[in-house]
């Protein structure tokens, strides 16, 4: 991965974090501090609490897994995965991500936002924006995804996104939170996730610019350690990476070979190879990561579009007692929450920076 590609991901992470913060602020202003926003939340909340369909048989068992023992166990699994792969710095990132998101949610909920009923017919309750359950579910799922080895990370991303979305919808169905609370929690987690990934990208750029050791710093001691049994030079020995079974890609092999093309490769084939390498540097190199990001992106677009269309069909002014309006608003909420969750995990996969080698003798690989 080139420094330009790392810089591009750094810019993407910073923009995504800033967009998450701005969207969370705008959502709080619209949903908590306007009568229309409060009425829309109440409309969906009433529909969810009155729902006795198959959705309740799905969301409540999942919601019951968002407990302190499960969250602590999931965090410990993420830490163990990172340590087994010799990624001590990742442990710090995961702790900052989960703790920062959880603390921000509690501060915003109890100290920053004050809810006052602005219209008749609304449930008078303390402020619940953003949702603490959804915050923990999303933050822990992303932590597990980032700590997972590359060959299972895509599966963890898909499962984590599904668990987060269903748990968030479950908090609405159970009457614990309003729809805006769930969306606000996703934005809080997004802001912290992309901030942590931006710091990771900065550290990767610093590591990429580190000077290589000079030959004078490592004088030859007279031993033929670098020679094979036949007297010829052996190829560089792969460095010990985090994954117990590392998988090399074509770019890694070219990098180890000194950024040079194979001797048998013709001059006409080199531009095509260079274009492929530049294209892979802009997205996760491993193919399963691209597939997962594509699936999540498609799910995000479909969920948001379907939710927006259904929401546009809700008649105005809002009738809180209308069963049809409640059903449409609830269905729209399910689509939007699912789409927003998929978008969070998809962007995280796309802006995540692969590990860089510590020296020119190390292979480039993706974590």
Q: What is the pLDDT of residues 108-155, one digit of tens each?
A: 999 999 999 888 888 878 899 999 999 999 999 999 999 998 889 999
Average pLDDT over residues 46-67: 90
Q: Supply the pLDDT for residue 305.
A: 97
Average pLDDT over residues 343-354: 90
| Phi, psi for 18 (deg, rounded to 5) | -65, -40
Q: Say yes or no to pLDDT of 224 above 80.
A: no
Question: Over the stretch 4-14, which tens digit does the pLDDT of each residue have?
Answer: 888 889 999 99
Lowest mean pLDDT among 48-57, 185-194, 249-258, 274-283: 249-258
Q: Supply the pLDDT for residue 143.
A: 96
Question: When comparing pLDDT for 2 and 166, which is higher?
Answer: 166
Q: Please report which confidence band the pLDDT of residue 196 belongs to, taking 50, 70 and 90 as the band edges.
A: very high
Strand partners, 233: 227
Residue 349 in 3-state DSSP? helix
Average pLDDT over residues 305-310: 96
pLDDT > 90 in the chain, percent: 57
Average pLDDT over residues 294-320: 94
**What is the average pLDDT score of the chain?**
81
Q: Say yes or no to pLDDT of 41 above 90.
A: yes
Q: Supply the pLDDT for residue 251.
A: 40
Residue 283 CA to residue 8 CA, distance in Å, equals 10
Question: When comparing pLDDT for 174 and 249, which is higher?
Answer: 174
Question: When comparing pLDDT for 227 and 55, which is higher?
Answer: 55
Q: Say yes or no to pLDDT of 65 above 60.
A: yes
Residue 363 CA to residue 249 CA, distance in Å, equals 10
Q: What is the largest CA-CA distance in the chain?
A: 89
Q: Check if the beta carbon of residue 285 is closer than 8 Å to that of residue 251.
A: yes
Q: Is residue 75 part of a domain?
A: yes
Total number of domains in the chain: 1
Average pLDDT over residues 344-365: 66
- Measured from the Cβ of residue 283, the count of other Cβ atoms closer than 10 Å reads 16
pLDDT > 70 in the chain, percent: 74
Q: Is residue 302 part of a domain?
A: yes
**Which one-letter DSSP state was computed for residue 268?**
T
User: pTM score, two decimals?
Assistant: 0.79
Q: Supply the pLDDT for residue 130.
A: 97
Question: When comparing pLDDT for 269 and 60, which is higher?
Answer: 60
Q: Is residue 276 part of a domain?
A: no
Residue 142 CA to residue 123 CA, distance in Å, equals 33
Residue 130 makes CB contacts below 8 A (sequence gap 6+) with 24, 105, 108, 109, 181, 182, 184, 185, 187, 188
C-alpha distance from residue 22 to each of 19, 192, 304 (Å): 5, 13, 19
- Residue 332 sits in which domain range? 3-207+284-351
Q: Is residue 218 part of a domain?
A: no
Average pLDDT over residues 163-192: 96
Q: Is residue 344 part of a domain?
A: yes
Question: When comparing pLDDT for 325 and 3, which is higher?
Answer: 325
Average pLDDT over residues 185-202: 96
Q: Is residue 346 part of a domain?
A: yes
Tokens of 319: 């009738």
Question: Over the stretch 236-291, which tens digit does the pLDDT of each residue have?
Answer: 443 333 334 343 344 444 434 444 445 455 555 566 665 555 544 444 334 557 88
Q: Is residue 10 part of a domain?
A: yes
Q: Supply the pLDDT for residue 4.
A: 82
Q: Check if the beta carbon of residue 122 is closer than 8 Å to that of residue 39.
A: yes
Q: Is residue 196 part of a domain?
A: yes
Q: Where are the alpha helices (DSSP H) in the chain?
A: 3-32, 35-50, 54-63, 68-84, 88-107, 132-147, 150-173, 179-208, 250-256, 269-282, 287-312, 323-351
Tokens of 350: 């796309």
Residue 207 in 3-state DSSP? helix
Q: Supply the pLDDT for residue 203.
A: 87
Q: Please report which confidence band the pLDDT of residue 16 belongs to, taking 50, 70 and 90 as the band edges.
A: very high
Average pLDDT over residues 37-55: 91
Tokens of 107: 């501060």
């Amino acid at each position: 991965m080139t420094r330009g590609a790392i810089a591009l991901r750094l810019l993407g992470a910073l923009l995504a974090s800033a967009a998450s913060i701005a969207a969370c602020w705008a959502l709080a202003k619209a949903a908590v501090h306007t009568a229309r926003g409060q009425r829309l939340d109440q409309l969906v909340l009433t529909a969810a609490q009155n729902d006795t369909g198959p959705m309740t048989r799905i969301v409540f068992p999942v919601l019951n897994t968002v407990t302190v023992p499960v969250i602590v166990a999931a965090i410990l699994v993420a830490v163990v995965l990172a340590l087994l792969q010799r990624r001590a710095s990742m442990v710090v990132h995961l702790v900052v991500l989960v703790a920062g998101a959880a603390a921000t949610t509690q501060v915003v909920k109890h100290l920053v936002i004050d809810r006052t009923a602005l219209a008749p017919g609304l449930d008078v309750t303390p402020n619940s924006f953003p949702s603490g359950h959804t915050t923990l579910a999303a933050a822990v799922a992303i932590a597990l995804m980032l700590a997972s080895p590359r060959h299972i990370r895509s599966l963890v991303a898909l499962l984590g996104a599904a668990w987060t979305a269903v748990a968030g919808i479950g908090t609405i169905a159970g009457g614990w939170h309003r729809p805006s609370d769930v969306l606000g929690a996703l934005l809080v987690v997004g802001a912290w996730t992309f901030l942590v990934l931006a710091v990771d990208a900065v550290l990767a750029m610093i590591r990429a610019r580190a000077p290589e050791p000079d030959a004078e710093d490592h004088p030859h001691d007279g031993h033929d350690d670098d020679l094979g049994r036949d007297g010829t030079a052996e190829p560089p020995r792969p460095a010990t990476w985090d994954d117990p079974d590392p998988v090399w890609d074509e770019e890694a092999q070219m990098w180890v070979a000194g950024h040079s093309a194979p001797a048998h490769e013709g001059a006409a084939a080199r531009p095509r190879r260079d274009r492929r390498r530049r294209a892979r540097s802009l997205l996760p190199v491993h193919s399963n990561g691209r597939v997962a990001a594509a699936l999540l992106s498609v799910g995000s677009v479909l969920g948001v579009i379907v939710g927006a269309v259904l929401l546009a069909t809700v008649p105005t002014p809002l009738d809180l007692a209308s069963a049809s309006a409640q059903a449409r608003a609830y269905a729209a909420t399910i689509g939007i929450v699912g789409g927003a969750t998929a978008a969070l995990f998809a962007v995280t996969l796309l802006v995540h920076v692969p590990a860089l080698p510590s020296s020119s003798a190390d292979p480039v690989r993706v974590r």
